Structure 1
Amino acid sequence: MHTTWKVGALAEASGLTVRTLHHWDAIGLLTPSRRTAGGHRAYTESDLARLYQVLALRGLGLGLEAIGACLDAGVDPVRLVRDHLAEVESALAALEMLRGRLVALDGELATGGVPLPTLLDALRATGRTDPDGERALRRHVDADAVRELGDRASALGPAAHYHLEVEWPELYRRAERLRASGTPPADAAVRRLVARMDELSALFTGGDAGISAGVRRAWREDPAAMAGDLAVDAGEYRDLADYLDAARRAVPEGAHS
Protein backbone atom coordinates (compact mmCIF):
# COMPACT_ATOMS: atom_id res chain seq x y z
CA MET A 1 0.00 0.00 0.00
CA HIS A 2 1.40 3.36 -1.02
CA THR A 3 1.78 6.09 1.61
CA THR A 4 -0.20 9.29 1.09
CA TRP A 5 -0.28 12.56 3.01
CA LYS A 6 -3.25 14.74 3.81
CA VAL A 7 -2.88 18.45 3.16
CA GLY A 8 -2.46 19.33 6.84
CA ALA A 9 0.31 16.80 7.39
CA LEU A 10 2.11 17.90 4.24
CA ALA A 11 1.82 21.55 5.23
CA GLU A 12 3.34 20.83 8.65
CA ALA A 13 6.16 18.73 7.20
CA SER A 14 7.07 21.27 4.51
CA GLY A 15 6.71 24.44 6.57
CA LEU A 16 4.00 25.77 4.24
CA THR A 17 0.45 26.73 5.12
CA VAL A 18 -2.62 24.73 4.16
CA ARG A 19 -3.85 27.84 2.36
CA THR A 20 -0.69 27.93 0.23
CA LEU A 21 -1.12 24.28 -0.77
CA HIS A 22 -4.77 24.93 -1.62
CA HIS A 23 -3.69 27.91 -3.77
CA TRP A 24 -1.03 25.86 -5.56
CA ASP A 25 -3.64 23.19 -6.25
CA ALA A 26 -6.05 25.81 -7.63
CA ILE A 27 -3.47 27.20 -10.08
CA GLY A 28 -2.30 23.73 -11.12
CA LEU A 29 1.19 24.06 -9.68
CA LEU A 30 0.88 21.17 -7.21
CA THR A 31 -2.26 19.08 -7.63
CA PRO A 32 -2.57 15.98 -5.42
CA SER A 33 -2.61 12.76 -7.39
CA ARG A 34 -5.34 11.18 -5.29
CA ARG A 35 -8.49 11.97 -3.36
CA THR A 36 -9.85 10.10 -0.36
CA ALA A 37 -13.29 8.51 -0.39
CA GLY A 38 -14.52 11.68 1.27
CA GLY A 39 -13.02 13.88 -1.45
CA HIS A 40 -10.05 15.17 0.58
CA ARG A 41 -6.65 15.80 -1.00
CA ALA A 42 -4.15 12.94 -0.76
CA TYR A 43 -0.56 13.61 -1.82
CA THR A 44 1.68 10.78 -3.06
CA GLU A 45 5.45 10.36 -3.17
CA SER A 46 5.52 11.76 -6.70
CA ASP A 47 3.66 14.82 -5.44
CA LEU A 48 6.30 15.26 -2.72
CA ALA A 49 9.03 15.09 -5.38
CA ARG A 50 7.29 17.84 -7.33
CA LEU A 51 6.89 19.88 -4.14
CA TYR A 52 10.64 19.67 -3.58
CA GLN A 53 11.20 20.94 -7.12
CA VAL A 54 8.75 23.81 -6.57
CA LEU A 55 10.47 24.86 -3.34
CA ALA A 56 13.95 24.52 -4.85
CA LEU A 57 13.06 26.63 -7.88
CA ARG A 58 11.39 29.22 -5.66
CA GLY A 59 14.55 29.30 -3.58
CA LEU A 60 16.45 30.15 -6.77
CA GLY A 61 14.24 33.21 -7.23
CA LEU A 62 11.67 32.01 -9.78
CA GLY A 63 8.04 33.14 -9.57
CA LEU A 64 5.22 30.60 -9.39
CA GLU A 65 4.26 31.04 -13.06
CA ALA A 66 7.86 30.47 -14.18
CA ILE A 67 8.16 27.45 -11.87
CA GLY A 68 5.04 25.89 -13.35
CA ALA A 69 6.36 26.42 -16.88
CA CYS A 70 9.72 24.84 -15.98
CA LEU A 71 8.16 21.79 -14.35
CA ASP A 72 5.61 21.27 -17.10
CA ALA A 73 8.38 21.48 -19.70
CA GLY A 74 10.53 19.04 -17.69
CA VAL A 75 13.51 19.98 -15.55
CA ASP A 76 16.77 18.12 -15.07
CA PRO A 77 16.69 16.92 -11.42
CA VAL A 78 20.50 16.67 -11.31
CA ARG A 79 20.88 20.30 -12.37
CA LEU A 80 18.11 21.35 -9.97
CA VAL A 81 19.85 19.72 -7.00
CA ARG A 82 23.23 21.15 -8.03
CA ASP A 83 21.79 24.66 -8.37
CA HIS A 84 20.11 24.27 -4.98
CA LEU A 85 23.40 23.06 -3.49
CA ALA A 86 25.21 26.06 -4.98
CA GLU A 87 22.71 28.40 -3.31
CA VAL A 88 23.22 26.67 0.05
CA GLU A 89 27.01 26.83 -0.28
CA SER A 90 26.79 30.53 -1.15
CA ALA A 91 24.69 31.15 1.95
CA LEU A 92 27.17 29.21 4.08
CA ALA A 93 30.07 31.24 2.69
CA ALA A 94 28.25 34.47 3.56
CA LEU A 95 27.57 33.24 7.08
CA GLU A 96 31.21 32.20 7.50
CA MET A 97 32.30 35.68 6.42
CA LEU A 98 29.91 37.24 8.92
CA ARG A 99 31.17 34.88 11.61
CA GLY A 100 34.75 35.96 10.97
CA ARG A 101 33.84 39.63 11.27
CA LEU A 102 31.87 39.03 14.46
CA VAL A 103 34.77 37.07 15.99
CA ALA A 104 37.10 39.96 15.15
CA LEU A 105 34.63 42.47 16.59
CA ASP A 106 34.22 40.42 19.77
CA GLY A 107 37.98 40.28 20.23
CA GLU A 108 38.41 44.03 19.81
CA LEU A 109 35.48 44.86 22.09
CA ALA A 110 36.95 42.56 24.77
CA THR A 111 40.01 44.84 24.92
CA GLY A 112 37.78 47.80 25.79
CA GLY A 113 37.98 49.59 22.46
CA VAL A 114 35.23 50.73 20.11
CA PRO A 115 36.53 49.54 16.71
CA LEU A 116 34.39 51.57 14.33
CA PRO A 117 35.76 50.05 11.07
CA THR A 118 35.19 46.49 12.33
CA LEU A 119 31.74 47.41 13.59
CA LEU A 120 30.79 48.88 10.22
CA ASP A 121 32.05 45.73 8.47
CA ALA A 122 29.81 43.61 10.70
CA LEU A 123 26.81 45.83 10.03
CA ARG A 124 27.38 45.64 6.27
CA ALA A 125 27.67 41.85 6.46
CA THR A 126 24.43 41.68 8.41
CA GLY A 127 22.59 43.68 5.74
CA ARG A 128 21.12 41.75 2.82
CA THR A 129 22.20 42.24 -0.78
CA ASP A 130 19.32 41.08 -2.90
CA PRO A 131 19.97 41.32 -6.67
CA ASP A 132 16.63 39.68 -7.52
CA GLY A 133 14.76 42.27 -5.50
CA GLU A 134 16.72 45.12 -7.09
CA ARG A 135 16.02 43.78 -10.58
CA ALA A 136 12.31 43.55 -9.77
CA LEU A 137 12.38 47.09 -8.40
CA ARG A 138 14.15 48.49 -11.48
CA ARG A 139 11.29 47.30 -13.67
CA HIS A 140 8.99 49.76 -11.90
CA VAL A 141 11.16 52.74 -10.88
CA ASP A 142 14.02 54.48 -12.65
CA ALA A 143 17.71 54.44 -11.70
CA ASP A 144 17.46 57.78 -9.87
CA ALA A 145 14.69 56.41 -7.67
CA VAL A 146 16.73 53.28 -6.87
CA ARG A 147 19.68 55.49 -5.87
CA GLU A 148 17.35 57.64 -3.76
CA LEU A 149 16.11 54.56 -1.92
CA GLY A 150 19.66 53.37 -1.36
CA ASP A 151 20.84 56.78 -0.13
CA ARG A 152 17.97 57.06 2.33
CA ALA A 153 18.60 53.53 3.62
CA SER A 154 22.29 54.37 4.12
CA ALA A 155 21.39 57.57 5.94
CA LEU A 156 19.24 55.60 8.36
CA GLY A 157 22.25 53.46 9.29
CA PRO A 158 21.59 50.41 11.50
CA ALA A 159 17.97 51.51 11.86
CA ALA A 160 17.40 50.57 8.21
CA HIS A 161 18.27 46.95 8.98
CA TYR A 162 15.84 46.91 11.91
CA HIS A 163 13.00 48.44 9.88
CA LEU A 164 13.49 46.12 6.88
CA GLU A 165 14.48 42.87 8.57
CA VAL A 166 12.55 43.00 11.85
CA GLU A 167 9.72 45.52 11.92
CA TRP A 168 8.38 45.21 8.35
CA PRO A 169 8.10 41.37 8.42
CA GLU A 170 6.33 41.56 11.79
CA LEU A 171 3.85 44.14 10.46
CA TYR A 172 3.26 41.88 7.47
CA ARG A 173 2.60 38.86 9.71
CA ARG A 174 0.20 40.80 11.95
CA ALA A 175 -1.73 42.16 8.98
CA GLU A 176 -2.01 38.69 7.42
CA ARG A 177 -3.30 37.24 10.70
CA LEU A 178 -5.99 39.94 10.86
CA ARG A 179 -6.95 39.36 7.22
CA ALA A 180 -7.07 35.58 7.65
CA SER A 181 -9.25 35.91 10.76
CA GLY A 182 -11.82 37.96 8.83
CA THR A 183 -11.14 41.30 10.54
CA PRO A 184 -12.71 44.09 8.40
CA PRO A 185 -10.20 46.43 6.69
CA ALA A 186 -11.83 49.43 8.42
CA ASP A 187 -10.98 47.99 11.86
CA ALA A 188 -8.82 50.32 13.92
CA ALA A 189 -6.14 47.64 14.43
CA VAL A 190 -5.75 47.20 10.67
CA ARG A 191 -5.63 50.93 10.03
CA ARG A 192 -2.92 51.35 12.69
CA LEU A 193 -0.79 48.72 10.94
CA VAL A 194 -1.31 50.43 7.58
CA ALA A 195 -0.38 53.80 9.06
CA ARG A 196 2.90 52.37 10.40
CA MET A 197 3.65 50.65 7.08
CA ASP A 198 3.14 53.97 5.30
CA GLU A 199 5.40 55.73 7.82
CA LEU A 200 8.16 53.21 7.10
CA SER A 201 7.62 53.65 3.37
CA ALA A 202 8.03 57.41 3.76
CA LEU A 203 11.35 56.88 5.59
CA PHE A 204 12.80 55.18 2.50
CA THR A 205 10.99 57.10 -0.27
CA GLY A 206 11.04 60.56 1.28
CA GLY A 207 7.30 60.70 0.79
CA ASP A 208 7.70 60.66 -3.02
CA ALA A 209 4.36 59.35 -4.31
CA GLY A 210 5.88 58.14 -7.60
CA ILE A 211 8.58 56.08 -5.90
CA SER A 212 6.07 54.69 -3.39
CA ALA A 213 3.73 53.63 -6.20
CA GLY A 214 6.61 51.98 -8.08
CA VAL A 215 7.71 50.03 -5.01
CA ARG A 216 4.15 48.82 -4.44
CA ARG A 217 3.90 47.70 -8.07
CA ALA A 218 7.16 45.78 -7.71
CA TRP A 219 5.86 44.02 -4.59
CA ARG A 220 2.56 43.18 -6.29
CA GLU A 221 4.18 41.88 -9.49
CA ASP A 222 7.01 39.89 -7.93
CA PRO A 223 6.63 39.62 -4.14
CA ALA A 224 8.92 36.57 -3.87
CA ALA A 225 11.90 38.51 -5.30
CA MET A 226 11.15 41.64 -3.27
CA ALA A 227 10.71 39.71 -0.01
CA GLY A 228 14.13 38.03 -0.08
CA ASP A 229 14.29 35.78 3.00
CA LEU A 230 10.69 36.47 3.97
CA ALA A 231 8.57 33.63 2.62
CA VAL A 232 5.86 35.19 0.52
CA ASP A 233 3.30 33.49 -1.69
CA ALA A 234 2.29 35.67 -4.66
CA GLY A 235 -1.42 34.90 -4.35
CA GLU A 236 -1.44 35.47 -0.61
CA TYR A 237 0.54 38.70 -0.93
CA ARG A 238 -1.85 40.12 -3.52
CA ASP A 239 -4.80 39.24 -1.29
CA LEU A 240 -3.09 41.05 1.57
CA ALA A 241 -2.18 44.05 -0.65
CA ASP A 242 -5.85 44.39 -1.64
CA TYR A 243 -6.82 44.14 2.02
CA LEU A 244 -4.37 46.89 3.04
CA ASP A 245 -5.46 49.14 0.16
CA ALA A 246 -9.05 48.70 1.34
CA ALA A 247 -7.94 49.74 4.83
CA ARG A 248 -6.34 52.89 3.36
CA ARG A 249 -9.61 53.78 1.65
CA ALA A 250 -11.79 52.92 4.65
CA VAL A 251 -13.57 55.72 6.48
CA PRO A 252 -12.72 55.61 10.21
CA GLU A 253 -15.56 54.54 12.46
CA GLY A 254 -17.56 57.52 13.70
CA ALA A 255 -16.40 59.79 10.88
CA HIS A 256 -19.99 60.31 9.69
CA SER A 257 -21.45 60.93 13.14
Structure 2
Amino acid sequence: MHRCSMTTSATWKVGRLAEASGLTVRTLHHWDTIGLLSPSQRTAGGHREYTEGDLVRLYQVLALRNLGLALDTVAACLDAGVDPARLVRDHLAGVEASIAALGVLRDRLVRLGDELSAEQTPTAPALLDALRAIGAGDRGLRTLGRHLDDDQIRALRSRAAALGPATHYLIEVEWPELYRRAERLRTAGTPATHQEVRRLVARMDELSAMFSGGDAGVAARVRAAWHDDPAAMSGDPGAPVDDWRELADYLDQARRDTH
Protein backbone atom coordinates (compact mmCIF):
# COMPACT_ATOMS: atom_id res chain seq x y z
CA MET A 1 0.00 0.00 0.00
CA HIS A 2 1.27 3.47 -0.86
CA ARG A 3 1.91 5.52 2.30
CA CYS A 4 1.56 9.25 2.10
CA SER A 5 4.67 11.25 2.73
CA MET A 6 4.36 13.77 5.56
CA THR A 7 6.83 16.13 3.94
CA THR A 8 4.89 17.01 0.79
CA SER A 9 2.29 19.29 2.36
CA ALA A 10 2.04 21.86 5.13
CA THR A 11 -1.18 20.33 6.47
CA TRP A 12 -2.63 16.85 6.92
CA LYS A 13 -6.22 15.70 6.99
CA VAL A 14 -7.23 13.33 9.77
CA GLY A 15 -7.19 10.16 7.65
CA ARG A 16 -3.76 10.85 6.28
CA LEU A 17 -2.38 11.68 9.72
CA ALA A 18 -3.93 8.54 11.18
CA GLU A 19 -2.27 6.40 8.51
CA ALA A 20 1.12 8.06 8.94
CA SER A 21 1.09 7.93 12.76
CA GLY A 22 -0.37 4.45 13.18
CA LEU A 23 -3.36 5.80 15.10
CA THR A 24 -7.00 5.43 14.20
CA VAL A 25 -9.22 8.23 12.95
CA ARG A 26 -11.48 7.52 15.92
CA THR A 27 -8.56 8.11 18.33
CA LEU A 28 -7.66 11.43 16.71
CA HIS A 29 -11.31 12.51 16.82
CA HIS A 30 -11.46 11.59 20.52
CA TRP A 31 -8.28 13.52 21.28
CA ASP A 32 -9.77 16.51 19.48
CA THR A 33 -12.97 16.23 21.52
CA ILE A 34 -11.12 16.19 24.87
CA GLY A 35 -8.76 18.97 23.80
CA LEU A 36 -5.61 16.86 23.90
CA LEU A 37 -4.77 17.32 20.22
CA SER A 38 -6.96 19.64 18.18
CA PRO A 39 -6.24 20.56 14.55
CA SER A 40 -5.20 24.15 14.15
CA GLN A 41 -7.04 24.58 10.86
CA ARG A 42 -10.29 23.63 9.18
CA THR A 43 -11.07 23.52 5.48
CA ALA A 44 -13.90 25.58 4.03
CA GLY A 45 -16.00 22.44 4.32
CA GLY A 46 -15.21 22.06 8.00
CA HIS A 47 -12.75 19.16 7.70
CA ARG A 48 -9.88 18.95 10.18
CA GLU A 49 -6.42 19.95 9.00
CA TYR A 50 -3.36 19.39 11.16
CA THR A 51 -0.33 21.67 10.86
CA GLU A 52 3.35 20.99 11.54
CA GLY A 53 2.86 22.46 15.02
CA ASP A 54 0.09 19.92 15.63
CA LEU A 55 2.48 17.15 14.57
CA VAL A 56 5.00 18.32 17.16
CA ARG A 57 2.33 18.08 19.86
CA LEU A 58 1.26 14.66 18.55
CA TYR A 59 4.84 13.43 18.88
CA GLN A 60 4.99 14.76 22.46
CA VAL A 61 1.66 13.13 23.32
CA LEU A 62 2.83 9.76 22.02
CA ALA A 63 6.19 10.06 23.80
CA LEU A 64 4.50 10.74 27.14
CA ARG A 65 1.91 8.03 26.58
CA ASN A 66 4.75 5.56 25.99
CA LEU A 67 6.04 6.51 29.45
CA GLY A 68 2.77 5.27 30.94
CA LEU A 69 1.06 8.60 31.62
CA ALA A 70 -2.72 8.87 31.47
CA LEU A 71 -4.24 11.18 28.87
CA ASP A 72 -5.30 13.79 31.43
CA THR A 73 -1.78 13.86 32.86
CA VAL A 74 -0.27 14.17 29.38
CA ALA A 75 -2.57 17.11 28.65
CA ALA A 76 -1.77 18.81 31.95
CA CYS A 77 1.98 18.41 31.43
CA LEU A 78 1.90 19.82 27.91
CA ASP A 79 -0.50 22.64 28.73
CA ALA A 80 1.62 23.61 31.75
CA GLY A 81 4.62 23.94 29.45
CA VAL A 82 6.51 20.92 30.75
CA ASP A 83 9.20 19.87 28.27
CA PRO A 84 8.71 16.15 27.44
CA ALA A 85 12.44 15.75 26.80
CA ARG A 86 13.13 17.07 30.29
CA LEU A 87 10.57 14.62 31.70
CA VAL A 88 12.56 11.78 30.22
CA ARG A 89 15.87 13.23 31.44
CA ASP A 90 14.46 13.76 34.93
CA HIS A 91 13.06 10.24 35.05
CA LEU A 92 16.37 8.80 33.86
CA ALA A 93 18.25 10.84 36.47
CA GLY A 94 15.86 9.59 39.14
CA VAL A 95 16.28 5.97 38.05
CA GLU A 96 20.06 6.31 38.01
CA ALA A 97 20.05 7.96 41.44
CA SER A 98 17.88 5.13 42.77
CA ILE A 99 20.24 2.53 41.30
CA ALA A 100 23.21 4.30 42.91
CA ALA A 101 21.42 4.52 46.26
CA LEU A 102 20.48 0.84 46.11
CA GLY A 103 24.10 -0.02 45.32
CA VAL A 104 25.28 1.88 48.38
CA LEU A 105 22.62 0.22 50.53
CA ARG A 106 23.57 -3.20 49.17
CA ASP A 107 27.25 -2.71 49.98
CA ARG A 108 26.44 -1.55 53.51
CA LEU A 109 24.05 -4.42 54.16
CA VAL A 110 26.52 -6.99 52.75
CA ARG A 111 29.19 -5.66 55.09
CA LEU A 112 26.78 -5.73 58.03
CA GLY A 113 25.57 -9.24 57.08
CA ASP A 114 29.16 -10.52 56.86
CA GLU A 115 29.87 -9.28 60.35
CA LEU A 116 26.70 -10.86 61.73
CA SER A 117 27.40 -14.17 59.94
CA ALA A 118 30.85 -14.24 61.48
CA GLU A 119 29.17 -13.83 64.86
CA GLN A 120 30.91 -10.53 65.30
CA THR A 121 29.36 -7.54 66.94
CA PRO A 122 28.74 -5.12 64.08
CA THR A 123 31.01 -2.13 64.18
CA ALA A 124 29.47 1.22 64.98
CA PRO A 125 30.31 2.65 61.52
CA ALA A 126 28.60 -0.30 59.80
CA LEU A 127 25.48 0.11 61.91
CA LEU A 128 25.36 3.85 61.37
CA ASP A 129 25.84 3.41 57.61
CA ALA A 130 22.97 0.94 57.45
CA LEU A 131 20.72 3.16 59.56
CA ARG A 132 21.45 6.18 57.39
CA ALA A 133 20.79 4.22 54.19
CA ILE A 134 17.52 2.79 55.47
CA GLY A 135 16.24 6.03 56.97
CA ALA A 136 17.41 8.50 54.34
CA GLY A 137 13.97 8.97 52.85
CA ASP A 138 12.01 8.99 56.10
CA ARG A 139 12.21 12.68 56.96
CA GLY A 140 9.32 13.61 54.68
CA LEU A 141 7.29 10.69 56.07
CA ARG A 142 7.97 11.85 59.63
CA THR A 143 6.83 15.34 58.66
CA LEU A 144 3.61 13.90 57.23
CA GLY A 145 3.23 11.85 60.41
CA ARG A 146 2.93 15.05 62.43
CA HIS A 147 -0.13 16.00 60.40
CA LEU A 148 -1.72 12.69 59.33
CA ASP A 149 -2.59 9.55 61.24
CA ASP A 150 -1.40 6.07 60.21
CA ASP A 151 -4.61 5.24 58.34
CA GLN A 152 -4.40 8.44 56.30
CA ILE A 153 -0.75 7.79 55.39
CA ARG A 154 -1.59 4.22 54.36
CA ALA A 155 -4.44 5.55 52.21
CA LEU A 156 -2.06 8.00 50.49
CA ARG A 157 0.39 5.17 49.79
CA SER A 158 -2.38 2.94 48.47
CA ARG A 159 -3.65 5.59 46.05
CA ALA A 160 -0.10 6.31 44.91
CA ALA A 161 0.45 2.59 44.23
CA ALA A 162 -2.82 2.40 42.30
CA LEU A 163 -1.64 5.14 39.93
CA GLY A 164 1.25 2.93 38.87
CA PRO A 165 4.04 4.36 36.68
CA ALA A 166 2.37 7.77 36.53
CA THR A 167 3.11 8.33 40.22
CA HIS A 168 6.75 9.24 39.59
CA TYR A 169 5.85 11.90 37.05
CA LEU A 170 2.99 13.34 39.04
CA ILE A 171 4.97 13.69 42.27
CA GLU A 172 8.54 14.18 41.12
CA VAL A 173 8.11 15.96 37.79
CA GLU A 174 4.76 17.64 37.21
CA TRP A 175 4.03 18.77 40.77
CA PRO A 176 7.45 20.41 41.32
CA GLU A 177 7.19 22.03 37.88
CA LEU A 178 3.83 23.53 38.82
CA TYR A 179 5.38 24.93 42.00
CA ARG A 180 8.34 26.35 40.06
CA ARG A 181 6.03 28.09 37.61
CA ALA A 182 3.95 29.50 40.46
CA GLU A 183 7.09 30.75 42.22
CA ARG A 184 8.22 32.52 39.05
CA LEU A 185 4.85 34.25 38.85
CA ARG A 186 4.99 35.21 42.52
CA THR A 187 8.49 36.66 42.35
CA ALA A 188 7.51 38.54 39.17
CA GLY A 189 4.77 40.26 41.15
CA THR A 190 1.87 38.55 39.37
CA PRO A 191 -1.32 38.89 41.47
CA ALA A 192 -2.64 35.69 43.00
CA THR A 193 -5.93 36.43 41.24
CA HIS A 194 -4.30 36.13 37.82
CA GLN A 195 -5.82 33.47 35.57
CA GLU A 196 -2.51 31.63 35.11
CA VAL A 197 -1.98 31.37 38.87
CA ARG A 198 -5.51 30.06 39.31
CA ARG A 199 -4.93 27.50 36.56
CA LEU A 200 -1.76 26.24 38.26
CA VAL A 201 -3.55 26.04 41.63
CA ALA A 202 -6.43 24.15 40.04
CA ARG A 203 -4.03 21.54 38.65
CA MET A 204 -2.19 21.29 41.99
CA ASP A 205 -5.50 20.69 43.74
CA GLU A 206 -6.49 18.15 41.08
CA LEU A 207 -3.30 16.19 41.75
CA SER A 208 -3.88 16.52 45.48
CA ALA A 209 -7.37 15.07 45.08
CA MET A 210 -5.94 12.10 43.16
CA PHE A 211 -3.81 11.15 46.16
CA SER A 212 -6.17 12.25 48.96
CA GLY A 213 -9.25 10.66 47.42
CA GLY A 214 -10.93 14.04 47.39
CA ASP A 215 -10.68 14.38 51.18
CA ALA A 216 -10.25 18.14 51.63
CA GLY A 217 -9.10 17.65 55.21
CA VAL A 218 -6.27 15.33 54.19
CA ALA A 219 -5.26 17.65 51.34
CA ALA A 220 -5.12 20.60 53.76
CA ARG A 221 -2.96 18.60 56.17
CA VAL A 222 -0.54 17.64 53.41
CA ARG A 223 -0.25 21.32 52.51
CA ALA A 224 0.37 22.04 56.18
CA ALA A 225 3.20 19.48 56.15
CA TRP A 226 4.79 21.31 53.21
CA HIS A 227 4.42 24.58 55.12
CA ASP A 228 5.93 22.98 58.24
CA ASP A 229 9.05 21.51 56.60
CA PRO A 230 9.36 22.24 52.87
CA ALA A 231 12.91 20.89 52.72
CA ALA A 232 11.78 17.46 53.93
CA MET A 233 8.67 17.31 51.77
CA SER A 234 10.42 18.46 48.60
CA GLY A 235 13.49 16.31 49.15
CA ASP A 236 15.59 19.43 48.66
CA PRO A 237 17.63 20.09 51.81
CA GLY A 238 18.49 23.54 50.48
CA ALA A 239 14.89 24.62 49.98
CA PRO A 240 14.53 28.15 51.43
CA VAL A 241 11.84 27.87 54.11
CA ASP A 242 10.72 31.50 53.91
CA ASP A 243 10.30 31.36 50.13
CA TRP A 244 8.30 28.14 50.31
CA ARG A 245 6.02 29.55 52.98
CA GLU A 246 5.50 32.77 51.06
CA LEU A 247 4.62 30.69 48.01
CA ALA A 248 2.19 28.58 50.08
CA ASP A 249 0.48 31.76 51.30
CA TYR A 250 0.36 33.06 47.72
CA LEU A 251 -1.30 29.84 46.48
CA ASP A 252 -3.75 29.82 49.40
CA GLN A 253 -4.72 33.37 48.48
CA ALA A 254 -5.39 32.21 44.92
CA ARG A 255 -7.59 29.42 46.30
CA ARG A 256 -9.58 31.82 48.47
CA ASP A 257 -10.09 34.25 45.62
CA THR A 258 -11.12 31.41 43.30
CA HIS A 259 -13.71 30.02 45.70
TM-score w.r.t. structure 2 length? Answer: 0.48
Larger radius of gyration: 2
TM-score w.r.t. structure 1 length? Answer: 0.48
Highest RCO, 1 vs 2 (Cα 8 Å, sep ≥ 6): 1
